[in-house]
């Protein structure tokens, strides 16, 4: 049976540019790179950059990363200083910043957890919300 999330792989068009973004701007740890990709990590998450033709989306699909409340404002400032485009305004519980990587992948940093989201839904449920 499935145990949990193993890794995330995204297509990137320029490995050097993506390494700079994920390591220097977002603070990921670099492990190895090769002709067609690289392995990084953030916390316990294994993250792979793979050279390919990115196919960006316009739907709500995105990758969200944890951030501590104490670090949120500094991170938001860092994103602005690097002129990184935003793709959505936060309308949900907790502080969130929705931004794009160099290939247009939709990313988010979020202060909170599933537990805090579920607590918020008890106070302000979504339309037609059903508890499972």
Closest CA to 54 of 2, 110, 12: 12
Comparing 112 with 23, the larger pLDDT belongs to 23
Q: Active site includes 108? A: yes
**Ordered alpha helix ranges (H), the chain:** 15-19, 69-81, 114-123
List pLDDT tens digits, range 36-55: 999 999 999 999 999 999 99
**pLDDT value of position 94:** 87
Parallel/antiparallel/unpaired status of strands 45-51 and 7-12:
parallel
Per residue in 67-124, pLDDT (tens digit) is 999 999 999 999 999 999 999 999 888 899 999 999 999 999 999 988 999 999 999 9
Q: Is the pLDDT of residue 24 over 80?
A: yes
Q: How confident is the model at residue 57 (pLDDT cuts 50, 70, 90)?
A: confident
- The token pair at 51 is 């050279």
pTM of the model: 0.90
Which listed residue (81, 93, 108, 130) is catalytic? 108
Judge contact between 74 and 60, C-beta under 8 A.
no
């Amino acid at each position: 049976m499935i145990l949990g999330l193993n890794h995330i792989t995204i297509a990137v068009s320029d490995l050097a540019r993506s390494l700079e973004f994920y390591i220097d701007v977002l603070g990921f740890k670099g492990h190895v790179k090769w002709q067609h990709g690289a392995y990084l990590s953030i916390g316990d998450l294994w993250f792979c950059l793979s050279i390919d033709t990115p196919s960006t989306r316009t739907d709500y699909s995105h990758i969200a990363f944890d951030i501590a409340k104490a670090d949120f404002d500094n991170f938001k400032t860092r994103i602005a200083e690097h002129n990184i485009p935003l793709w959505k305004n936060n309308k949900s519980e907790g502080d969130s910043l929705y931004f794009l990587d160099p290939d247009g992948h939709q990313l988010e940093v979020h202060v909170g957890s599933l537990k805090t989201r579920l607590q918020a839904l008890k106070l302000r449920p979504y339309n037609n919300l059903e508890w499972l």
